[in-house]
Amino acid sequence: MHTTLLKSALLAVFITAFFSTAPLAQEANFEAAERFTGDKMEKLIGNTSVWPRWIEDTNNFWYTYENDEGKNWYFVNAERPSQRLLFDQEEMASQLAETFERPFNAKDLDLKDFEYNTDKERFTFHVDSIQFTYNLNGNNLIKGDSLEKEEREPWATYSPDSTWIAFAKNHNLYLIRSDDEDSTEIQLTDDGERWFSYQADEGDTTSNKRLRTNANFFDDESKLYITRTDDRKVNELWVINSLGKRPELETYKYSMPGEEEIGISQVEVFDIASRERVIMDTDKWEDQELRANYGDHQTGDYKSTPSDKLYIYRENRTSDKVDILIGDTETGETEVLLSETSKPYFNWSFQELAIINDGEEYIWWSERTGWGQLYRYDSEGNLKNRITSGNFVVGDIVKIDTAANTIYFEGYGRDGDHPYYEHLYSVRFDGSNFKHLTPENADHSISESDKDNYFVDNYSRVNMPTKTVLRDRNGKVILTLQEVDMSKAEAIGWKAPEEFRIKAADGATDLYGVMWKPFDFDSTRSYPIISYVYPGPQTEPFPTSFSLQGYTGRNQALAQLGFVVVAFGNRGGSPVRSRYYHTYGYGDLRDYPLADNKYGIEQLASRHSFIDQSRVGIYGHSGGGFMSTAALLTYPDFYDVAVSSAGNHDNNVYNHWWSETHNGVKETRKTVKEMNEDSVEVEKEEITFDGPIESNADLAGNLKGHLLLVHGNIDNNVHPANTLRLADALIKAGKRFDMMILPGRRHGFGPYQPYFERQKWYYFSQHLLGDYRSNVDMNLPED
C-alpha cells in the first residue's frame, strides 16, 4: 500500500517536471490577424501617399486621394501655389446616373483612364467601356463611343506626334500611318523569326497577327531603333499550365550560369523615308550585353535628342567592364565615349549617364571611390571635375536644369540619419552650391514638375505617417497637400512598428531593421520571433517609409497571431550603401547573409526579455525563400521553422546574368586548332565561362526543424525546378517536410497570395505556438 502510494507520488512529480519544461500550447489570435491585414487597414485609412500626374509643359498637376471622406480629385497649381477640387463630384455622379439609369456614389466614382487636358479645361475617362468627356466650363458631361476599337489595339507603338504606328507581324517589323490604320502596311524587315524577333513577346507565334514591338521612335519621327536579341541557340525551358481546357506547354528561352549559349544582342536603326536598316557596330566582348536608349536628354538615361546619333551601353559578361558608345545612325559606326571597370561588378541600380545639351557635356555615376558619386565629362569624354564627394551614395538623378547648370538628385546616408532614408539634394555642375532640400529626418519620395523645379515630396518613417508637401527649387515647403490620419486605426488598437539598429556578425557593421509586435503586447510574456528575410543585393527586406500594404501589412498581421516579427538587413544586402557593403556576398551566394541574420536575432533576444530565442521562425520569397531555407539547414539547432516561397534554391538553374553577376563567373581563354572553310588548319581563341553555385540541396541532410516549400507551377522567372530539386534531395535524405504547389501561379502569387498568407499563419502557429487546431476558418478576402 505504502509502496504504491510512493510510486504514484514519484510519477506525479515526474509528469509535473516534464510538462513544466516543455513549451505550452498557445492559441494563435487569428481574429486579430484578420482584423489587421494590409487590405483591411487600407480600407479603413485610405491612401498613404500622393501620386501626382504632372501636366505636360506646365507646373500644374492633378491627383486622386482616398480617405474617410471618400475619393477626391485635386488640381494643384505650383506657381501660385494652390490646391482645389478638380470638379464637382456630386454633379458628376448625378449626370452619370442619368446617363446609365442607375445610381452612382459621389464619394467613390470609378473613372478609368482619367486624363486631364489643361489647355481645354476638360478631362476624359471611361465607365463601363464608354468614353466620356467632361467640360469644366459648364460642368457638362459628354458621352462618347464605346472603347471596343481601342481595346483591340494593344499592338500599336505610336510615334511622338502620332504620325506613325510601329508593330510586329510574323516576327518582322512593320509601319502604318496612324491616320489610316487600314492603309498599306510598310514591311521594314524580312529576316525576323522566332527567338530572333521584332516582337515584344516572342512566345506569341500567332501567324499574320499584329503584335507589339520593342522598337522605339526618335523624337523627330524620321527613324526607329531597336535592340534585337538572338536567342536561337539558347536552350529552351518549359512550364505547363494545367488550368486550361487542356494542359498547355509554355516554351521559352532561358540561359543558365556557365552555359555556352546566351542571347546575343544587336542594335538596329531604321530610316522611315528610305526604309533602310543600319546595324550598329558594337562587337567587342564575348557574350556582351547591349542597351540602346533614346529620349529626353534631361532625364538621365543613355539618350540624345537628334536622330543622327544613338547612345549605347555595352557591358561584358562578367559585369565588371562598361563602355558608353556614341553611334552614327547613318553609317552604324560607333566610338567609345566612356569606359570604366568596377570590380567585382557594377552597381546597376544607379548606373546613369546624363547627356547635357545634346552632348556638350556628360554626367556619369561611378563607384570608383567605393561610394556612388557624380562626375562631369566634356564632349570628348574627358573628365572635367568631380561633382559630388563624400562617404554617402548618390542615387537616381531626379532632374537637370541645364539653364542653371544644376542637378537635382536622390542621396542616401549623408546627413547623419538613417542611411536608407532617401533625400533630395541639388548641386551645380562644377560641384558648388550643394544643398540639402529635404531636411526632415524621414524617407522622402520625390516627383518632379514637368516644367520648372517644383517637387512633390511624400515623407514618412515606418512609425510616422506620411505627410505630402510641395517644395520649390530651394526645398522650401510652399504647400501642404495631405497628411495621413491614423486615429481610426489607433482607436481599434493599431500601433506603429519600431525601428532598431544592431551589429552584423563582424561586430562592427551597423544593420538596420523594423520590429512588429502584437497589438495586445505584454512585456512580461515570452514570444517566438520570426525573421522576414531577403538577402539582396538589390534591396533589403525592411521598410523605411510608412505603409499599410505589402510586407509591412503582412508582417503586421503575422505578429498579431502572437509573434514578434522582425526584418533587418545583412552585409551584401543593399545598393544604397558602400560598394564594399553591397558586394559583400560576391562568390558566396548561398551563405553570405546567414551569420548576420542569426547574430541579429541573438542580439535582439539578449536585448529584449520578451523574445524567446528557443522558438525561431524565418520566411521569405524568391531570394528570401532561398535564404530562409539555407538558414534552417545551416543552423538547424537555431532556426525551428521556415516558410520558403518561390525560392531560387539552386541558382545553377536560375538565369545566367543575375547568378553570374552576383556569385561570379570564371572566364577561360585557350587556343584551339580547327579547319577553316578552305580546309586549312588555323588557330582560334576559345572563350568559355564557368560559374558553379552552392545550392540548398547540398545541405538537405541537415534538416531538423519544420520546412514548408511553396512554388507557383508556371513560374518562368524562378523555375519550379528550384524547389523540386530541393524536395528530391530532402526525400533522398529521408527528411520530413511540407510542400505546396500553387496551380497557375507565376513568381508572384497574385490572387492566391491571401490563401498562401493564411497557410503561413497556420504553419508558424502550429510549429512555434503549438496551435494545431484544424477547425480555424480561412477568411479569404472577397474578390
At residue 10, does pLDDT exceed 60? no
Note the pLDDT tens digit of each residue in 510-569.
Answer: 999 999 999 999 999 999 999 999 999 999 999 999 999 999 999 999 999 999 999 999
At residue 296, does pLDDT exceed 60? no
**Burial letters for 730-740: b for 16+ Cβ neighbours within 10 Å, e otherwise?**
beeeebebeee
Closest CA to 150 of 170, 120, 129: 129
pLDDT at 783: 56
Band the pLDDT of 116: cuts 50, 70, 90: confident
At residue 300, does pLDDT exceed 70? no
At residue 425, does pLDDT exceed 70? yes
* Grid cell of 194 as nine digits: 522566332
pLDDT at 341: 96
Q: Where are the beta strands (DSSP E) in 272-333?
A: 277-279, 289-293, 309-315, 321-328
Note the pLDDT tens digit of each residue in 399-422.
Answer: 999 999 999 999 999 987 899 999
pLDDT at 152: 47
* Grid cell of 298 as nine digits: 534631361
The fold of 497-650+693-769 is Rossmann fold (3.40.50)
Across the range 633-650, mean pLDDT stands at 98
Of the given ranges (306-320, 491-505, 693-707), which has the lowest mean pLDDT?
A: 306-320
* Alpha carbon distance 106, 416 (integer Å): 46
* Alpha carbon distance 494, 556 (integer Å): 10
At residue 2, does pLDDT exceed 60? no
At residue 477, does pLDDT exceed 90? yes
pLDDT at 146: 58
At 746 the three-state DSSP class reads coil
Question: Which pairs count as long-range contacts for 68-75, CB under 8 Å and 24+ apart, including other chains?
Answer: 68/485, 68/488, 69/107, 70/105, 70/106, 70/107, 70/108, 71/107, 71/108, 71/109, 73/114, 74/481, 75/116
Are 619 and 643 a contacting pair, CB within 8 Å?
yes
pLDDT at 452: 94
Note the pLDDT tens digit of each residue in 569-593.
Answer: 999 999 999 999 999 999 999 999 9
At 293 the three-state DSSP class reads strand
Question: Which pairs count as long-range contacts for 440-448, CB under 8 Å and 24+ apart, including other chains?
Answer: 441/417, 442/545, 443/418, 443/544, 443/545, 445/49, 445/545, 446/398, 446/410, 446/422, 447/51, 447/52, 447/54, 448/54, 448/398, 448/399, 448/408
Note the pLDDT tens digit of each residue in 603-623.
Answer: 999 999 999 999 999 999 999
Band the pLDDT of 24: cuts 50, 70, 90: low
Band the pLDDT of 365: cuts 50, 70, 90: very high
pLDDT at 82: 96
HSE on the CB side for 283, CA within 13 Å? 1
Across the range 3-26, mean pLDDT stands at 50
Across the range 673-697, mean pLDDT stands at 81
Question: What is the DSSP track for 366-419?
Answer: E-TTSS-EEEEEETTS-EEEE---SSSEEEEEEEEETTTTEEEEEEES-SSS-T
Band the pLDDT of 285: cuts 50, 70, 90: very high
Across the range 12-19, mean pLDDT stands at 44
At residue 768, does pLDDT exceed 80? yes
pLDDT at 21: 40
pLDDT at 20: 40
Number of residues that make up the chain = 783
At residue 460, does pLDDT exceed 60? yes
* Grid cell of 653 as nine digits: 538553374
Across the range 210-223, mean pLDDT stands at 93
At residue 776, does pLDDT exceed 50? yes
Across the range 244-265, mean pLDDT stands at 93
HSE on the CB side for 68, CA within 13 Å? 10
Note the pLDDT tens digit of each residue in 154-201.
Answer: 899 999 888 999 999 999 999 999 887 677 899 999 999 999 999 998
pLDDT at 775: 74
pLDDT at 673: 77
Backbone angles phi, psi at 314, to 5 degrees: -130, 130
Rg, C-alpha atoms of the chain:
29
* Grid cell of 209 as nine digits: 497577327
Band the pLDDT of 298: cuts 50, 70, 90: very low
Task: Determine which helix (DSSP H) or strand (DSSP E) holds 287, and give its type and residue range.
Answer: none
Across the range 589-599, mean pLDDT stands at 97
pTM over 0.75: yes
pLDDT at 22: 42
Note the pLDDT tens digit of each residue in 729-764.
Answer: 999 999 999 999 999 999 999 999 999 999 999 999
Strand partners, 402: none
Domain with CATH 3.40.50.1820 in the chain: 497-650+693-769
Mean pLDDT of the chain: 91
